[in-house]
Amino acid sequence: MRAMHRVRVGVSLTALVVGCGLMAGCMSSPRYGTDKTAGEQLFDDLSDIASVSAATPKDKGVKYPNRPGLVLPAQQNREDLTSPQQSLASKDNPAWVESPEEARKRLADEADQNKNDVNYRSPLAQADSGRNRVTEQQQTAAYRAARQDQAGTYIDQRRYLIDPPQQYRQVSDPTALNDLGTPESKKEKKRKKDAEAAQQTSSWWKPFQ
């Protein structure tokens, strides 16, 4: 019995010492810029959770004055108030720029109204006819430029990032650009002629050499 009593006393003293150490650690814990230590803040948070309302309301000592009323003009001046300014961002403004869609719609409506007038000429028809009129030389030049752009044979300027610098595309002899070389038909004739000449100069005894 005495041994069991001693064990209980030792365990109680150990628990008391550990509890005191923990409390001392909580009391000496850092404050992190506040007026309470970490242990005190934890205890307050647990108390606030357990209670319906916080023990110390955060708005304690703060006064909230009533919102003042609207400032109204004098009774005799209420009928002479300045009317609000009309918005300038409106199509009713004469300085408002007409969009291309609106201009085309206006000209189309105007053409419908004057469809029976033989002397009326729509600006849309004039613009389209003048814009689409291209001469044969212009068509040929545009076709050649498109072909050069497609084949990459232009050397006047650097058009794409994959093109080498312009100084690397210059040739030492400009006439070499127009030299197409020997035609394939002449090469074929020369090849046949050389083959016939080789057959005529060959002898029957050459395979036995």
pLDDT in tens, 26-38: 555 666 667 777 7
Alpha-carbon span 54 to 48, nearest angstrom: 5
Task: For residue 150, give the 3-state DSSP assignment.
Answer: helix
Confirm whether 208 is domain-assigned: no
pLDDT per position as a tens digit, 35-75: 777 778 777 777 767 665 555 666 677 788 888 888 887 87
Confirm whether 184 is domain-assigned: no
Task: For residue 98, give the 3-state DSSP assignment.
Answer: coil
Contact between residue 124 and residue 105 where contact means Cβ atoms under 8 Å apart: no
Indicate if the alpha-carbon torsion angle 170, 171, 177, 181 is positive or negative: negative
Confirm whether 34 is domain-assigned: yes
Task: For residue 73, give the 3-state DSSP assignment.
Answer: coil
* Token reading at 146: 């498109």
* Token reading at 95: 């300085």
Confirm whether 63 is domain-assigned: no
Nearest to 23 by CA among 6, 10, 40: 40
Confirm whether 81 is domain-assigned: no
Contact between residue 155 and residue 166 where contact means Cβ atoms under 8 Å apart: yes
Range of the domain at 44: 24-53
Q: Which pLDDT band, with edges at 50, 70 and 90, does 9 fall under? A: low
Alpha-carbon span 163 to 157, nearest angstrom: 9
Confirm whether 42 is domain-assigned: yes
* Token reading at 195: 């083959």
* Number of structural domains in the chain: 1
**Tokens 């058009």, located at residue:** 159
Question: Cβ contacts of residue 29 below 8 Å, gap of 6+?
Answer: 37, 38, 39
Confirm whether 33 is domain-assigned: yes
For position 129, what pLDDT does the model report? 55
Confirm whether 143 is domain-assigned: no
pTM equals 0.24
